[in-house]
Amino acid sequence: MNYCIANWKMNKTISESINFLEEFKKKDLQNIKSKIILCPSFTSLKILETHVTGTKIELGAQNVHQNKRGAYTGEISVGMLKEIECEWVILGHSERRQYFLEEDVIINDKMNTVIENDLKPILCIGENESQRNKNETFNILESQLTTALSNINLSSNMLIAYEPVWAIGTGLSASFDQIHEVVNWISQFLLQEFSLKVPILYGGSVSAVNCESIISLESVSGFLIGTSALDVNEFSRICSIVNER
Ligand code: PGA
């Protein structure tokens, strides 16, 4: 099973989200074999639920708080997400790490809360440019994975997205060889350290032009897509290319 996940970040109002989805449903994605997950803003999440009914499209949140309730102004809980039938949650995105100071221990708490409450995490990991230049990529990924996954009742109902920070939103995707090397390393590491076999996605400047070669890699099970998922034509082109694999 391959995955196409749209991470809309802080884009699209409710009406823009509905317009996108209604246009998307007109595309010829009838015999879709891959899983399509839209991760809109919290304000759009509830209303999109009615628009995905009867389709194979699933919904995800871009974040959730690690505690189940309480005095955390501005935050959203797992219970709130479950009530609106949101199934997935993106955790550990590099923008959350960078701008909201989310460290691996917090991501670990969030992973725990999400899994315990039967939501499915999409855990993002990846090195930044200076870490790659210093040959620290595998150390960084090892430490991100080890902390984020420690002491958790892990299930295979989760996804890992390898997203090199230097490739996000830059138009400069990681190369075929770089993705191949890292994704294989991640799958071996998960198997050895956690006896875990889960789909591993790639994210970082994925487009309709580069997705075909990346998805041809055996180890890559789909994409987490930012910029290219904002345009309904581009996103549906990517979905149909992934669907042909
Ligand atoms: P991008 O974003 O596709 O714009 O690089 C990917 C992401 O941040 O998940």
Q: How many structural domains does the chain have?
A: 1
CA 239 to ligand 1 centroid distance, Å: 15
> 186 or 244: whose pLDDT is higher?
186
* pLDDT tens per residue, range 46-82: 999 999 998 989 999 999 999 999 999 999 999 999 9
CATH number of domain containing 219: 3.20.20.70
Residue 130, pLDDT > 90, answer yes
* pLDDT tens per residue, range 82-126: 999 899 999 999 999 999 999 999 999 999 999 999 999 999 999
CA pair distance 117, 137, nearest whole angstrom: 32
Tell me which of 12, 39, 90, 224 to substitute to probe ligand 1's pocket, judged by most ligand atoms within 8 Å of the beta carbon: 224
What six digits make up the tokens of 178? 């770089």
In the chain, what percentage of residues exceed pLDDT 70?
A: 100
CA 211 to ligand 1 centroid distance, Å: 13
* pLDDT tens per residue, range 135-184: 999 999 999 999 999 999 988 899 999 999 999 999 999 999 999 999 99
Give the range of the structural domain holding residue 220, as residue numbers without chain letter. 3-243
CA-proximal residue: ligand 1, atom 2 (nearest): 226
pTM beyond 0.95, yes or no: yes
Catalytic sites, residue numbers? 93, 163
* HEC secondary structure over the chain: CCEEEEECCCCCCHHHHHHHHHHHHHCCCCCCCCEEEEECCHHHHHHHHHHHCCCCCEEEECCCCCCCCCCCCCCCCHHHHHHCCCCEEEECCHHHHHHCCCCHHHHHHHHHHHHHCCCEEEEEECCCHHHHHCCCHHHHHHHHHHHHCCCCCCCCCCEEEECCHHHCCCCCCCCHHHHHHHHHHHHHHHHHHHCCCCCEEEECCCCCCCHHHHHCCCCCCEEEECHHHCCHHHHHHHHHHHHCC
- Ligand 1 atom at minimum distance from 168 CA: 5
Mean pLDDT of all residues in 19-35: 88
Mean pLDDT of all residues in 17-26: 96
What six digits make up the tokens of 172? 């400069």
In this prediction, residue 30 carries a pLDDT of 67
